[in-house]
Amino acid sequence: MGRHKTPPKFYDFEFHFPPATSLVRCATVHANWLQGFEGQLDSAHLNFLHSSSIPKTPNSTGQMAADDTSPRFEFIEKPYGFREAALRNYQDGTVYARIREVVLPYYSFIPGNHEEPRLVVVVVPIDDEWSAHWYYYMNPFGPVPEWYIKRALEGADVDDDDFAKDRGDITNTWNQDRVAMKNGHFSGITKNFVYEDFIIEESMGPIMDRSKEFLGSSDAVIVRTRRMLLRALDNHAQGKMPFGLDENVDYREIRALAIRYPKGEDWKTFDTKQPPTFEFQVSDAAK
């Protein structure tokens, strides 16, 4: 993007898997890129926006997040962005950590729990008011399971190039089901659960007036991201290297992780190259 005649080399991420082992889909959203990207950075909204749409089976993302609705956040700055942990405490003395990698300015690496695939969401601008949201469902330890593919496709359009084009728009309130809401559904958006994210982004208007915001403690990730982006603009104006061009970074090592461990241990010490084993760590904590 921009005036460069030769684009920089694409990141050597690990999720360049063949189609047989992963699922890649795209959605076009009528909201600017930053609104879409910030929606992918907010770990706290799992407990609210998706509370009715994400299954709450044992050890699932939905169940683990629901047990503590007020995560605290810790960060490690990286040359490409930052590593962020949303930490939730449990009464049995364990901590549930959702450890995300953010590669500015487009990539959010989202963890999956035990036996769940991991997700990379890439939000890129089309123009000032439209953005493309790429969803990479992938499993570093083998093919994405059929049950997860079924869940990812359920209720969405069959077009992989724009899988949310049937979500509606402001003229029909995005097909919101008020009867479902009266019966307990949080959002009334009863198709694919990621439609909830897209509709929130669009309902702000294509370009949100951020001077009218009231940010809270759960927006710590949003605040940090904006500061880093503004700093990057200042650095670029001074001729310094922008994000993504540091050849000393091994982008193949970037991976998200969701894990549960005994309180007192440090989330920074866990190896993202190993599959999380929730049951083993909980039994250790019980001892």
Condensed to tens digits (0 to 9), the pLDDT of residues 27-56 reads 999 999 999 999 988 877 877 888 888 777
Indicate the pairing of strand 131-138 with strand 257-262: unpaired
Quick check: is 32 in a domain? Answer: yes
First-to-final CA distance of the chain: 54
Q: Which residues pair with 75 in a beta bridge?
A: 84
Does 202 reside within a domain? yes
Local structure of 26: helix, strand or coil: strand
Euclidean distance between CA atoms 75 and 88, whole angstroms: 15
Domain hosting 65: range is: 19-286
E strand or H helix at 266: none
- What is the pTM (predicted TM-score) of this model? 0.87
**Rounded to whole angstroms, how far apart are CA atoms 253 and 52?**
34
Is 183 a member of any domain?
yes
Domain assignment present for 178 = yes
Residue 163 lies in a domain: yes
CA distance 133 to 30: 11
Domain-located, residue 174: yes
Q: How far is Cα 108 from Cα 98, in angstroms, rounded to an integer?
A: 13
- Residue 217: the pLDDT is 84
* Domain total of the chain: 1
Cα angle 111-25-170, degrees, rounded to a multiple of 5 = 100
Per-residue model confidence as pLDDT tens digits over 125-168: 999 999 999 999 988 778 888 888 998 999 999 999 999 999 99
Token duo for residue 284: 């250790």
Q: Look at residue 9 and tell me if it is in a domain.
A: no
The list of the chain residues with pLDDT below 50 reads 279-287
Estimate to the nearest angstrom the gap between the alpha carbon of 40 and the chain centroid: 4
Query: In CATH, what number is assigned to the domain containing residue 97?
Result: 3.90.380
Would you say residue 10 lies in a domain?
no
